[in-house]
Amino acid sequence: MPTDTLLTAVRHHLDLSPTHTCVIEPITKGASGRTIVRLKPEGFPTYIGVHYTLDRADNANYLPIAEMLRKSGFNVPEVIYDNPTRRVALVEDLGDADLLSLKDEPWEVREPIYRSAMQQLDKLFYTRVPKDIELQPEFDASLYAWEQDYFYDHVAEDHLGLNPALIEELREHPALEQMANDLGASARNLVHRDFQSQNIIAKDGKAFLIDFQGMRRGRQEYDLASLIYDPYMAHSKEEIQKLIELWEDVSEEEPIMPILEKCAIQRLMQAMGAYANIAIKERNDWYLQHLPTAAATLKELVKGTDLEPALMPVLEKI
């Protein structure tokens, strides 16, 4: 069992006896396919224990990327113990205060965390990856097309049960192919790939990044859109504008709004597909509550564009 392996790991790391008390606290948020727990050995600091399988290609990437980011000056948890043979690791416990937990706090409380997160996103743009670090396949036209299919497969087909003929007609709309080609032909900078509120921990007034195992090359705007148009946070138009202005202050340049909005459309399609897929496959309905927020944001983004005919028939059913 993964928990037994993690208990063995913490006892080995601290040289504890088999009878030394160690409390295990499950951490259920997220859907990475890994076993993640908080380990509380009596008389010692707490650790985050991670047990991973190789069922997902990106799981093995977490530890080397964590080391690379930490050496490059990013705010990421320290890997304290690593046993690749048993696929377990003990990681610094940063606490439970993620950005999502600050959702109802005033802007003055959230602003420093957003600023810190954006500073790291800006730094990621200029970071060079050592040759021995393996990243996930880069964002290209085929990956953007896959995200679009993911949306139609799990939202339109599995969740809404729309007519298969209609779904095929919508997914083959030329505007979607054009967007995938346009975004896929552009910049290749480091991208976190899941830069949203649950993966940003607030500690000591700073943002710490987690769940970066899916890092790859792509457009910086994809991460920025993931943060600004995050369905978990349900930002108002005024808050979206504040975040865009904050990014301009941090990066000292204005985002190219047509590109940012296309990245937001892509990201929202991917996120909605994930919500529906997790809800069905893992019977976890928590994610379904965020579908209407994501759909409402996506409606605003595609309204009056050539993407409206491809997406509105699905969005209007949510």
What integer pLDDT is reported at residue 84 of this predicted model? Answer: 86
Q: Which of 100, 34, 95, 106 is nearest to 63 (CA)?
A: 34
Please list, in sequence order, all residues whose beta carbon lies within 8 angstroms of the beta carbon of residue 81, skipping any fewer than 6 positions away: 9, 10, 12, 13, 47, 88, 89, 90
What integer pLDDT is reported at residue 56 of this predicted model? Answer: 80
> In this structure, what token pair is assigned to residue 23?
């409390």
pTM, full prediction: 0.95
What integer pLDDT is reported at residue 31 of this predicted model? Answer: 52
Give the start-to-end residue ranges of the domains of the chain.
2-92, 99-315
What is 2-92's CATH number? 3.30.200.20
Percent of the chain with pLDDT over 90: 86
Q: What is the pLDDT of residues 98-127, one digit of tens each?
A: 999 999 999 999 999 999 999 999 999 999
Please list, in sequence order, all residues whose beta carbon lies within 8 angstroms of the beta carbon of residue 64, skipping any fewer than 6 positions away: 132, 133, 134
Within 10 angstroms of residue 4's Cβ, the number of other Cβ atoms is: 10
What is 99-315's CATH number? 3.90.1200.10
> Are 49 and 93 in contact, with CB atoms under 8 Å apart?
no
Q: What is the pLDDT of residues 44-63, one digit of tens each?
A: 999 999 998 878 878 888 88
